[in-house]
Amino acid sequence: MAASSLKANISSICLSILQVLQRMGYLNRDQSVTMKGRVACEVNSGARAAPPRPSKLISLKHLGAGRPLVAAACHRTFTHIVCDELVATELIFGGVLADLEPEEAVALLSALVFQEKSDNEPELTPKLEEARDNTIALALQAGAVQQECGLPITPEEFVTSTLKFGLTEVVYEWARGTPFKDICGLTDVMEGSIVRAMVRLDETCREFRDAARVMGNTALFQQMEKASSAIKRDVIFAASLYVA
């Protein structure tokens, strides 16, 4: 691709990203950062190991400092926030977590950190089923906004690439105190993958707690502290080759 064409393509993507951020309330019209944008900077969804695709990127490096994005958005060294974080922020502001018990909340958040495919259909509580459906609806809305703003992704593609509920039941039972050998029987996912997902999930709980502190949301802060405590136990958080 010629340099001029590449530059034009990057500029188009940057403008689309700005439109997404403004339409979804992360930036004001003058590109100043809203509270929603500040919260998004705190949430990294457990830092998924897989490198994100360009179509799934939102650049928020300068949101925390309140700096305009126009000049910075296309800089080669800017920080990309994968759209998992966009969904995570929508969960907070959409109130999806508000009525959940800590073990239900952390189970739902597993959809943001789990990376693999699973053929098992998780058995969920009615509250978790409703929360899952609401999460999918929010992701569809976020995907639709991105598509409408010119980013190369459909709402359905955004959902399938961002949310994976294969460990939801496993995490829920683990948070309730079910032994590790028993939760392994609930899924076809390998033990090492379960352990790694739990470790990333604990990181996600800490990030949501940080977001709650920024918002002044005491209920969310306490919920995430309890959720972290519920999963941070036993063999999964012992010294292990699984997380070496």
Asked whether the predicted pLDDT for residue 182 surpasses 60, the reply is yes
Render pLDDT for 101-140 as a digit per residue (tens, 0 to 9).
Answer: 999 999 999 999 998 888 888 999 999 999 999 999 999 9
Per the prediction, the chain carries an average pLDDT of: 82
Render pLDDT for 157-173 as a digit per residue (tens, 0 to 9).
Answer: 999 989 999 999 999 99
Q: Could you tell me the pLDDT band of residue 51, with boundaries at 50, 70 and 90?
A: very low
pTM: 0.82
Task: Record the tokens describing residue 60, joined without a space.
Answer: 């928020």
Q: Which domains does the chain have, with CATH numbers?
A: 3-243 (1.10.3380.30)
Asked whether the predicted pLDDT for residue 25 surpasses 50, the reply is yes
Alpha-carbon distance of 243 to 84, in angstroms, equals: 22
Average pLDDT estimate for 189-211: 94
Alpha-carbon distance of 108 to 71, in angstroms, equals: 36
Asked if residue 173 lies in contact with residue 146, where contact means CB atoms within 8 angstroms, the answer is no
Q: Could you tell me the pLDDT band of residue 193, with boundaries at 50, 70 and 90?
A: very high
Render pLDDT for 130-147 as a digit per residue (tens, 0 to 9).
Answer: 999 999 999 999 999 999
What pLDDT is stored for residue 237 in this prediction?
A: 80
Residue written as token pair 């994968």 = 82
Q: Could you tell me the pLDDT band of residue 43, with boundaries at 50, 70 and 90?
A: confident
| CA 53 to centroid of chain Cα atoms | 15
